[in-house]
Amino acid sequence: MQNIAGRTWLAAAALIGVAGCASMPPGPKDMTFFVTSAGPGNGGNLGGLAGADRHCQSLAQAAGAGDHTWHAYLSTQASKLDGADFVNARDRIGNGPWQNAKGVVIARNVDELHSNDNNLTKQTAVDEKGGPVNGRAENPNKHDALTGSRPDGTAFAGAFFPDMTCGNWTKGGNDGAAMTGHLDRSGPSGAPWATSWNSSHPTVGCSQEKLRPTGGDGLFYCFAVK
């Protein structure tokens, strides 16, 4: 009888343990999307795509999600007349699905991310620590996320067209500009451009100081490729 009781107790304890694990909230290692809590600090000069990716990886590593490979959601423009050397942000973030540090799914795939069905909002666009990012109604406003992208996640034309990527993320001075999105989906009107998460308006320059007048601080989106 004592052995039976002992086995019964162990079985019950195992079930409790399994139930406890099942109800545990997602941890940092499960995060596959975040907004950077801070930029590198040099405005639109992110050290190119490679530098931006390293920044994503470093922040993720510090938060406990360094086992993933992280890329910044950024496009680059073609520098040659044949227009062959551009990069689309949508092509460099993997296939999804992506969830934030709180376990909330942002989008299940690339097409959903770039549709009206995505779940990217002020409440879900949190940083790598799960903290909120200042929106348009807060001071200081940090809702501009650098993207350099059109609404579908593709690059702007280069060569004869205006700079929309701060010199492909190498300019940190007053010249140039970068397209931004509103991470809080909020703007001065309800127009699609004002509520776009990835393609709202360009900055007025590329230095850290020039990013701020329109509500930016050099932040950008990071996605786990795998």
Q: How confident is the model at residue 24, as a pLDDT? A: 54
Distance CA(30)–CA(40), nearest Å, equals: 24
pLDDT single digits (tens) 68-108: 999 999 999 998 766 778 999 999 999 999 999 999 999 99
pLDDT at site 26: 56
Domain layout of the chain by residue ranges: 26-224
Name 120's Cβ contacts closer than 8 Å, sequence gap at least 6.
106, 107, 113, 183, 185, 197
Running DSSP on this structure, what letter comes out for residue 129?
T
Residue of 113, 100, 43, 38 lying closest to 73 (CA atoms): 113
At 19 the pLDDT is 41
Quote the tokens at residue 4: 């039976």
- pLDDT of the residue at 160: 76
| pLDDT tens-place string over residues 33-45 | 999 999 999 999 9
pLDDT at 161: 83
Residue 3 is predicted with a pLDDT of 45
The pLDDT of residue 29 is 77
User: Which stretches in the chain have pLDDT values below 50?
Assistant: 1-23
**What CATH superfamily is the domain 26-224?**
Mannose-Binding Protein A, subunit A (3.10.100.10)
- What is the per-residue pLDDT for 215? 95
State the pLDDT at residue 10: 40
